[in-house]
Chains A and B, each alone.
Chain A
Amino acid sequence: MLGFSIKRNYAKGCCMKSNFIKGIGLIAGLLFVCVPIFAHHGGSDYDIQHPVTLKGTVTEFVWANPHCQVFLDVKDDSGKAVNWTIETLAPAVLKRAGWSRETLHAGNQITITLVPSKKGTPVGMLRKVVLPDGSELSGGSLGEQPPQ
């Protein structure tokens, strides 16, 4: 759909109770994260059912309200770099997930899992990042999460 080599993370059908419960938790989490999308992303929407994973190079990291932004050069199959606009939640929420304004810098090679815009534009909402040292940070959560 997007013309990039991306790893799709479709939910797999399964009859196991634990997976079902995890699925419910995931859906609940996605619903919470929908709130700021609704709040600031106007009438557009993200394809929350089909997260994608991108590897690329950070060109800019904006630490600001209402939502932080990561700009990421991602090479497509032909080797041409496309600059993705990836928003996150607010700095206050990211801080509670372990982020700071120094978490990312231009030139960092990172891997981001995001939910893409339904329009097919290189725009998305961050779910998770793998940093250059291999550590992972989530995109944070809104409100308390149900006990697992």
Chain B
Amino acid sequence: MRKSFAGSAFALAVALAFLVVARAQTDHSGAAKTADKAAAFDAHDLTGIWNPAPFMQPKGEVNPLDLGGHPNPLPPFTPAGEAKYLSNAKFIAAGAVLDCDPFGVSRNFFTPRPFEILLTRDRLVQHFEYYDNWREIWTDGRKIPTDIDPEYMGYSIGHWDADTFVVDSADYNGKAFLTWQGFPISESMHQTERWQRIDADTLKIVFTFDDPVNYAKPWSITGFWKLRKDWVLDAHPCTLSAIKEYDDRVNHADKLPGRDYAKPDNK
């Protein structure tokens, strides 16, 4: 009798344990389905606020945030391109970035601050938080015009190649820098970008710079950004009055030498 009771109790315990495990598996399965749903994404939906993830850049590439004064590796400069880079770097070290000239496209990307992507009927629009810069990428099938004046931000067109958004741009005015280090841009530059939303939260862009004036061959940088669904962009315009006040209060307190605002000849 005692054995029978013990056997029944054991059987009941096993049954309860089975039920608990089964329930747990059901819950786990449900959680997994929820996670799958959260991870689902439309590869063609690039809208939202994207924050740079520079630590994801592959090793061995030119690092646009290698700002110690001696970036390594360097792009494949032509002799003329190297001379312009050295001149630009000297200019930047003297405080040249305190001016409010537009950054151009790539230097905006390589500033470690977020940008937002908006879509209209015929354009993908980028709004860069830092210095409030805007870029239009035309998506209506047009070609890059041949009869327009070059600009800091150039002229950009984009189309989908399967799940990759391909952007071509040209008509740069050669006055901006490619990166914060002062890598030069000429009016001959043609820039290609291949954008891929590689998962729900990650955007990967491979930039290729083809500028025969400054670089011996086309070269590339791979960048990554993370989607920040809960963010809004903040106001950060470049205003000379605010920069002058900062300069007066911080830089002068640090006894910095006078600045050389004369721009190098970047043509």
Residues 180-209 of chain B, each 1 if its beta carbon lies under 8 Å from chain A, else 0:
100000000000000000000000000000
Q: Is the CB of B242 within 8 A of A123?
A: no
Residues 240-263 of chain B, each 1 if its beta carbon lies under 8 Å from chain A, else 0:
001101100111011111010000
A144's contact among B226, B236, B249, by CB below 8 Å, is which?
B226
Known contacts A42-B251, A44-B256, A143-B53; is-contact A32 B246 (Cβ 8 Å): no
Q: Is the CB of B98 within 8 A of A40?
A: yes
**Is B149 part of the contact surface with A, judged by Cβ < 8 Å?**
no
Residues of B with C-beta under 8 A to A142: 112-113
- Which stretch of B34-42, B89-97, B117-125, B210-218 is in the interface? B89-97
| Complex alpha-carbon distance, A146 and B54, angstroms | 9
**Is B129 part of the contact surface with A, judged by Cβ < 8 Å?**
yes
**Is B235 part of the contact surface with A, judged by Cβ < 8 Å?**
yes
| Residue of A40, A44, A65, A90 with most partner-chain B CB within 10 A | A65
Q: Chain B nearest CB: distance from A36 CB in Å?
A: 9
Residues of A with C-beta under 8 A to B253: 85, 121-123
Residues of A with C-beta under 8 A to B259: 42
Residues of B with C-beta under 8 A to A143: 51-55, 112-113
**Is B10 part of the contact surface with A, judged by Cβ < 8 Å?**
no
Inter-chain residue pair count (beta carbon < 8 A): 107
Q: Is the CB of A42 within 8 A of B256?
A: yes
Q: Is the CB of A35 within 8 A of B246?
A: no
Interface footprint category on A: 35 or more
| Complex alpha-carbon distance, A65 and B131, angstroms | 10
| Residue of B180, B236, B237 with most partner-chain A CB within 10 A | B236
Q: Is the CB of B94 within 8 A of A92?
A: no
Q: Is the CB of A41 within 8 A of B250?
A: yes
Residues of B with C-beta under 8 A to A38: 67, 97, 180
Q: Is the CB of B67 within 8 A of A66?
A: no
B112's contact among A35, A40, A66, by CB below 8 Å, is which?
A35
Residues of B with C-beta under 8 A to A127: none
**Is A50 part of the contact surface with B, judged by Cβ < 8 Å?**
no
Q: Is the CB of A65 within 8 A of B239?
A: yes
| Complex alpha-carbon distance, A69 and B245, angstroms | 11
Q: Chain B nearest CB: distance from A44 CB in Å?
A: 5
| Complex alpha-carbon distance, A111 and B65, angstroms | 31
| Residue of B68, B129, B253 with most partner-chain A CB within 10 A | B253
Residues of A with C-beta under 8 A to B18: none
| Complex alpha-carbon distance, A119 and B243, angstroms | 22
Known contacts A92-B113, A92-B236, A143-B51; is-contact A43 B257 (Cβ 8 Å): yes
Residues of B with C-beta under 8 A to A65: 236-237, 239, 242, 246
**Is A78 part of the contact surface with B, judged by Cβ < 8 Å?**
no
| Residue of B180, B237, B250 with most partner-chain A CB within 10 A | B250
The contact sample of 23 A-B pairs, CB cut-off 8 A, is A32-B65, A34-B67, A35-B111, A38-B67, A39-B180, A40-B98, A42-B95, A62-B249, A66-B236, A66-B242, A67-B246, A69-B249, A85-B249, A85-B250, A90-B234, A90-B236, A92-B129, A117-B254, A119-B254, A121-B253, A121-B255, A142-B113, A143-B53
Binding site for A on B (CB under 8 A): 51-55, 65, 67-68, 93-95, 97-98, 111-113, 129, 180, 226, 231, 233-239, 242-243, 245-246, 249-251, 253-257, 259
Task: Rank and list the top 7 A-B pairs by shortest CB-CB distance, nearest first.
Answer: A92-B234, A42-B95, A143-B112, A142-B112, A144-B53, A123-B254, A85-B253
Binding site for B on A (CB under 8 A): 28, 31-32, 34-35, 38-44, 62, 64-67, 69, 85, 87, 90-93, 95-96, 117, 119, 121-123, 142-146
